[in-house]
Amino acid sequence: MRQGDRTVLDHPAKTVKDAHALILEMAKGRRVLNVGAAGNATYYRDYGTDGWLHASLCNAAETLVGLDLDAEEAQVATDLGFALHIGNCETADLSETFDLIVLADVLEHVDGPTQAIANMMRHLSPGGEIVLTTPNATFVGNVINAILWRGPNIYWDHVNLYVPENIQALCDRHGWKLLHTHLYSLTDRRTLFMRLKSMVINVVGRLFPRLHSSFICVIRTG
């Protein structure tokens, strides 16, 4: 909502320990579209599918459809037994609707985030929801870098960086409803150093939630 010249959340942002578990709970028994489904498929091919959201959604959802722009990674996913549509979520027309649309770490990649959400809204069944996750601009690592006169760590293919209020502002502008907002930090288990680093980030996030590395929003049509 707008308060004077500021955007504030319609509800307090809460923390969640396991964002994937929250998404999987929302997906149970529903018709689900997972956007960006092939992300890191090569890694999961080489190191196992444990932790791969799309593989977990396949077990949770009544019906699961995948969409990804990366044809090469989509082929890897297909080789692993997960058939996907190739397309851009900003423009794709799948000619069907879904109870839940998942945009996990997608919004920071797209050229037109508003267009992407609006197009996915057109693919929602009545009462359906979009759940999205994205890196948090006020992540403790970015704050430390700013104190040290460094820029934030931006991946080469990330073109947007958000705080939850940006999603609220988009919802306010386009008549969508922001239902829930949660802050969280993922645990990177690839090496001992990364596990220890993730542990520190999670502790900081529990003390100061706005320093968590990511956030999750659930939205629907107004």
| Burial group, residue 34, by CB count within 10 angstroms (0-12, 13-18, 19+) | buried
Residue pLDDT, tens place only, 94-119: 999 999 999 999 999 999 999 999 99
Residue pLDDT, tens place only, 36-88: 999 999 988 988 888 899 999 999 999 999 999 999 999 999 999 998 999 99
Q: Which residue has the tokens 């609707």?
A: 97
Half-sphere exposure of 10 (CA within 13 A, CB side): 16
pTM of the model: 0.95
DSSP designation for 18: -
Say if strands 98-104 and 176-184 run parallel, antiparallel, or are unpaired: unpaired
Nearest to 42 by CA among 85, 77, 86, 78: 77
Residue pLDDT, tens place only, 114-149: 999 999 999 999 999 999 999 999 999 999 999 999
Where do the structural domains in the chain lie, given as residue ranges? 2-221
Residue pLDDT, tens place only, 26-37: 999 999 999 999
DSSP designation for 110: -
Task: Write down the architecture of domain 2-221 according to CATH.
Answer: 3-Layer(aba) Sandwich (3.40)
